[in-house]
Structure 1
């Protein structure tokens, strides 16, 4: 929590450090949190090297010399370089670290800090959980702070113009940005919402990195479909990981009374409770928070979920996970037909993957299609109907990553990442809404639940998938869609999944 900014090259790192709020510095020349932050800064030297590719975890185990010249202040700098004779290779590394005050005066130096890689057996045990909303009132013991001028941003989604005016006048020390009710172009609205919110966070990073912290509250009426603004939860969770001084919540309110809304905002702005970042208030003012509850998977049904001779569409079917599940369906099904689709035409590698799947039995076909384009989705579904007679299930495993920190994200990158999951899923749902499907499975990611450094847009896209799955399932229960809808937040896979690249 003490590392606020990092600049690096292949041979050196310069890091800005700040003592975390609430840390007791009394009696310390070098607070443990500041030392820990300096050690974290040393990791920056491995960002563009092959160190991170080595197995195990690097931990410090010895230091040649420590010199203390004065007390390290709450705001300091750490300069890190390799020790003489140490190179970014092998399982042992040595660093020299100098901590200075804001004026560059040396406070502490560490010579020959040695770290080594410790490899432990990998435990591949999986835990399963499901989201649920639990009553979580703001406790009396929660820290309450005054509303600091310039330290709050309100992103208002779908609130009435007169309500926006009242909020702006009441909380005049906060920056208020209002997004109108969404129109018919939901995908375009969401691109704008995520893009503008990312730009807002980007603007807060340099100006607040050394300040008291900044909180961003997203406030939406429950009259706006939750999946439309759910991506902002993934965005804010990632922002907090990348920049600990940024804190955020996504708050849904049902109370139509302006006084009730003002009271809610006043309490949330003054509260330092950020353990839960997705909050709902019902019409009675009861506060609930989105949490995870561990569950046990039910025993497999005796009756298979695949129809004999059924037809199943896997979007991203020749990607890593797509191939894994294509093979699974071929093994589990009885003479099933798989329609795999992807944006690219078949190259030699893809042709080989397709040939390998066909050897597993069943019928496997490939269609080139970009699900981000409505016409492509309509063409695929029409082709399936005409050639195979029916469509029984869909697995949406397509995804794109463009890894970079929020501060470096571009609108082009964000749009590329959102397209297959946001535009893609909206198009798939629109075209197949009358199809008698047995299931629709969306491949999401833990990034959508927890955020992930370097993947703010990817976290946003997956948070959308999770929320849209709940939305579609509610339509199933109302008789407006067919087939169980399920979103799965996959962790990292040993084979086939998406990961953050080495540079990020």
Structure 2
């Protein structure tokens, strides 16, 4: 937001979601001139009993290079950032490196005296939070990269406000996994704690963008954000030369779980000291904890997805108990046994769950595992994650597999026809519109999760552009909030119909289908826009929360195919998510479901 000589009117809009969370948008302008400047989502819950403690004495011993507050603000001024007295909360800053040689910063923060009277008005005072972010300058002091280009806050993956912040704080900053001084977009992890080291605020994945030289340019130009149009990306798999790491497992304390008897035997021939551990599909966290405890100390877990054949669609839901839910329970059991404080190797192998090539036959049963372990890698950096998708038949490349490096981001390797592949996002162009549209004027379209934000937006477009007859299916009752959305769309054309049904239940969805058929006769397209966002770290997530977000993707996708598969549809549309690719910390349940839905759609 650029504020010149005149005032700028800015709006904050709060949007309640079905799961109790609140989405927000900060925007200026109105109508066609409306521009969103910031957006995100807030969830309110009970603070954990154990908020975590930062060892300040250990950090002081490691961070021995001191920088005065005056030097910091002089450095900011040199690149064109002039902080007023209310924002000068840096009292002292020390730099150093941890035991692995990674750069880190410890900053002392004090509430500026000019705003001391406002201390009790905030749980987290904005002057203190801004000063914590300012301390990131210490991560780049002495570096030749990007000198004279100010770094400004751009986005954050996750913020946890755990308690009220006192007037004096300490901030511990370090680069997020996979980030660093040479990155164009930089991410920093920050813990803000009181004088005893108790964490008050935890920020993960705080990213910065740099202004080009000449900070008087318009902000939109400096950030290079297009004012119109969209930036579109597509995930693709590319051949990647395998960089060999040291062989693993490196000890005899290896546990092999899952897979077929033939595959386990094949694996044991390679690692003769590995021991099998059979986990029943219905084993809960307590039972799995006892099984793991019986193995003694474990250095490496080799988890093989069960089965290598594609099961009938109806069984995909049940397969989750043998796949991602079993892994979730194993992780929870390991945390109870104290493995969150230990180095632990994970090699997770699925078979044919990824569409590496367009003509691949995909087995979506355990694609959800990729979402889970992509998140695990970010939440537990001390766990060495190797996530691999192998062909469902043929001999596995176990010799190469033993040299596969761990990935701190939890990104997968895939192996096809003697070549290794890695996935990345590449710029993609949307259709120019010259192809015939599958949308029909006056067509009948069923939107599962239509009352949510994505479903509502798509419905509005279809009503405006095609006078479509829309049917929403949702689990919630048609309350005032839903009716208000229906009334708004009714002003544009035919009011959408609303049917209360559980789309994850075949019988309930079948009844909804029969109602729609009785009213309209023909259905032209079906849209999956259902989602449940219940973000929590794995340590704080219970199984019901994990299953809620997973089922919104797995169960609904499967039942949708079972019920509407009998129709001669023009199309089925799945709304995916960036979480299929980025798999952020705190979103293990949603990322797992999204990865399944993508594979199932393929």
Structure 1 length-normalised TM: 0.69
Change (3 A) 1:151 1:215: farther
Q: Deviations over 1:402-443 (max 9, x none)?
A: 221111222211221122210111010122223221221112
Which consecutive residues of structure 2, in runs of 5 or more, have no partner in the other structure?
1-46, 66-86, 129-166, 173-194, 198-207, 212-218, 275-299, 354-360
Could you tell which deviates more after superposition, 89-98 or 159-168?
Answer: 89-98
Shift of 1:193: 1.6
Asked if 2 retains the 8 angstrom alpha-carbon contact of 1:152 and 1:216, the reply is: no
2:327 aligned residue: 197
d(CA) in 1 for partners of 2:344, 2:475: 40
Shift of 1:244: 1.7
Asked if 2 retains the 8 angstrom alpha-carbon contact of 1:14 and 1:78, the reply is: no
For 1:6-405, what aligned pairs fall within 5 Å after superposition?
A: 14-15=53-54, 29-30=62-63, 63-65=90-92, 83=110, 88-93=123-128, 95-97=168-170, 121=219, 125=226, 126-139=230-243, 142-149=244-251, 156=258, 159-168=259-268, 170-171=270-271, 172=273, 174-181=300-307, 184=312, 185-205=315-335, 207-211=338-342, 213-222=343-352, 225-254=362-391, 256-258=393-395, 260-268=396-404, 271-272=405-406, 277-282=411-416, 284-301=417-434, 303-333=436-466, 335-405=467-537
Asked if 2 retains the 8 angstrom alpha-carbon contact of 1:153 and 1:217, the reply is: no
Asked if 1 retains the 8 angstrom alpha-carbon contact of 2:526 and 2:572, the reply is: yes
| Equivalent position SS for 1:462 | helix
d(CA) in 2 for partners of 1:291, 1:451: 13
| Equivalent position SS for 1:341 | strand
Asked if 2 retains the 8 angstrom alpha-carbon contact of 1:12 and 1:81, the reply is: no
2:568 aligned residue: 436
Which consecutive residues of structure 1, in runs of 5 or more, have no partner in the other structure?
1-7, 20-24, 33-59, 100-107, 111-117, 471-504
Q: Deviations over 1:436-459 (max 9, x none)?
A: 212211122111211122110111
d(CA) in 1 for partners of 2:64, 2:415: 40
d(CA) in 1 for partners of 2:498, 2:392: 50
| Equivalent position SS for 2:238 | strand
d(CA) in 1 for partners of 2:56, 2:345: 20
Structure 2 length-normalised TM: 0.58
Shift of 1:461: 0.5
| Equivalent position SS for 1:92 | helix
d(CA) in 1 for partners of 2:252, 2:107: 33
Change (3 A) 1:330 1:169: same
Shift of 1:71: 10
Shift of 1:9: 7.9
Change (3 A) 1:448 1:321: same
Shift of 1:361: 0.6
Change (3 A) 1:67 1:328: closer
d(CA) in 2 for partners of 1:305, 1:400: 28
Change (3 A) 1:273 1:355: closer
| Equivalent position SS for 1:175 | strand
Q: Deviations over 1:24-47 (max 9, x none)?
A: x9xx94279xxxxxxxxxxxxxxx
d(CA) in 1 for partners of 2:554, 2:584: 18
Q: Deviations over 1:197-227 (max 9, x none)?
A: 112233445744444x433222133399432
Q: What is the CA RMSD across the aligned residues, in angstroms?
A: 4.1
d(CA) in 1 for partners of 2:56, 2:363: 37
d(CA) in 2 for partners of 1:306, 1:423: 26
| Equivalent position SS for 1:14 | coil
Q: Deviations over 1:355-399 (max 9, x none)?
A: 221121125211111111001221222222222011111111111
Change (3 A) 1:17 1:263: farther
Shift of 1:177: 4.3
Q: Deviations over 1:269-313 (max 9, x none)?
A: xx345667222222x422122222211222123644321221001
d(CA) in 2 for partners of 1:145, 1:16: 34
Shift of 1:176: 3.9
Shift of 1:92: 0.7
Q: Deviations over 1:66-93 (max 9, x none)?
A: 699x998679x99999757656454311
1:412 aligned residue: 544
Change (3 A) 1:168 1:80: farther
